[in-house]
Amino acid sequence: MRELIFQIDVLNPVEIFGVNNSKINLIKKHFPKLKIIARGDTVKAVGEENELTVFEQKFKLFIEHFNQFNLLTESNIDELMERNGGTTINEVNGNGDILVHGTNGVLVKARTVNQRKLVKSSEQNDMVFAIGPAGTGKTYTAVALAVRAIKNREVKRIILTRPAVEAGENLGFLPGDLKEKLDPYIQPLYDALRDMIPFDKLNTFLEKGIIQIAPLAFMRGRTLDNAYVILDEAQNATQNQLKMFLTRMGKNAKFIITGDITQVDLPKNQPSGLLQAEKLFKKIKGIDFIFLDEKDVVRHKLVKQIIKAYNPTQK
């Protein structure tokens, strides 16, 4: 006889145990030869080696299911108990296009041809530039890929950054301290994350530094390893800033750089690093460029017409 102890790394263990341990009681029915005790944030199982081996495999599946779907029901437990091997949830349900099961039942997936190209390219390359106009899902898809990577434990942290460049406004005249001045620039990244990660869990990730959101200038001097890193609004990074950022890349890192070359807010004497990037990197293996256009717009239908109006030469 030996014992096996699992530490439950979720904010509310009831989500795994069930109200009044209802889910634990169901698991006990599947393992009648084991003594299973749930207390606090731990589960202890006592029994014979062969029974504990199966229990360990299945309990890991329960946790993986919860991490991926933000949900573990009694029906899920029964289904996972019947499954053989470690087949992924997506493979079983035929939902391979889904990137993240978000909050409130939101299914986050690549919805257009070029968004799917971005997903595929990110799986094949360590650095991808996603270039296209507003509303084409560049940032949202990139954030979904990062969240998927952290849920699948492919990386240890997510780092999201943006240049703090005014789009016609003056940052210095905004009220508040530095954080309060910068928050409006970072807000779109928070919005995407809130769609994909429950509120309490997101706050925990932010507090622990598992997810870090900071202005581009704060990247200087860092080595970004074991991380999924997204530079958003890269058209507002100068050539020197983009060079600084790209050379932060460490081991086991994925970089996605998104931007809209038609909306550069830099002073006229400051050329955009994004405009230069394709010329410099297009022949480097491991770096890819995905271009999105009005056909990828997933906002209001008028946005597509607005983009075409500003770019009448595009068919």
Determine how many CB atoms are found less than 10 A away from the CB of residue 27: 24
315 found inside a domain: no
Question: Do 213 and 253 lie in a common domain?
Answer: yes
Question: Do 85 and 133 lie in a common domain?
Answer: no
* Residue ranges making up the domain that contains 267: 98-310
DSSP state at residue 238: B
Nearest residue to 143 (alpha-carbon basis) of 162, 125, 171: 162
- Residues 231, 203: contact at Cβ < 8 Å? no
Last residue of a domain, one of 65, 93, 121: 93
Nearest residue to 126 (alpha-carbon basis) of 290, 259, 242, 285: 285
For the question of whether the overall pTM of this predicted structure is more than 0.95, the answer is: no
Question: Do 265 and 296 lie in a common domain?
Answer: yes
Question: Do 179 and 219 lie in a common domain?
Answer: yes
pLDDT at 79: 80
From first to last of the 315 residues of the chain, give the pLDDT tens digit.
Answer: 788 888 887 667 888 888 889 999 999 999 999 999 998 888 999 999 888 888 888 888 888 878 777 778 888 888 888 766 444 444 444 444 778 877 766 778 888 889 999 999 999 999 999 999 888 889 999 999 999 999 888 999 999 998 876 544 444 555 555 556 666 777 888 888 988 888 888 889 999 999 998 888 889 889 999 999 999 999 999 999 999 999 999 999 999 999 999 888 888 888 999 999 988 998 999 999 999 988 887 666 687 778 778 776 554
Task: Identify the bridge partners of residue 5 per DSSP, sorted by sequence position.
Answer: 44
Question: Do 10 and 151 lie in a common domain?
Answer: no
Question: Do 121 and 218 lie in a common domain?
Answer: yes
Q: State how far the alpha carbon of 194 is from the alpha carbons of 98, 103, 139, 144, in Å.
A: 17, 7, 14, 11
The alpha carbon of residue 62 and the mean position of all alpha carbons in its chain are separated, in whole angstroms, by 21
The CATH number linked to 305 is 3.40.50.300
Task: Output 180-187 pairs: Cβ under 8 A, ≥24 positions apart.
Answer: 182/215, 185/215, 186/160, 186/162, 186/213, 186/214, 186/215
56 found inside a domain: yes
Question: Do 6 and 138 lie in a common domain?
Answer: no
Question: Do 61 and 132 lie in a common domain?
Answer: no
Question: Do 290 and 216 lie in a common domain?
Answer: yes
Number of structural domains (the chain) is 2
Secondary structure class of 228 (helix, strand, coil): strand
pLDDT at 199: 85
Question: Do 40 and 165 lie in a common domain?
Answer: no
Q: State how far the alpha carbon of 256 is from the alpha carbons of 12, 43, 222, 227, 269, in Å.
A: 33, 39, 17, 11, 26
216 found inside a domain: yes
Question: Do 102 and 85 lie in a common domain?
Answer: no
The torsion angles phi and psi of 190, rounded to 5 degrees, stand at -60, -45
Give the β-pairing of 287-291 and 127-131. Answer: parallel
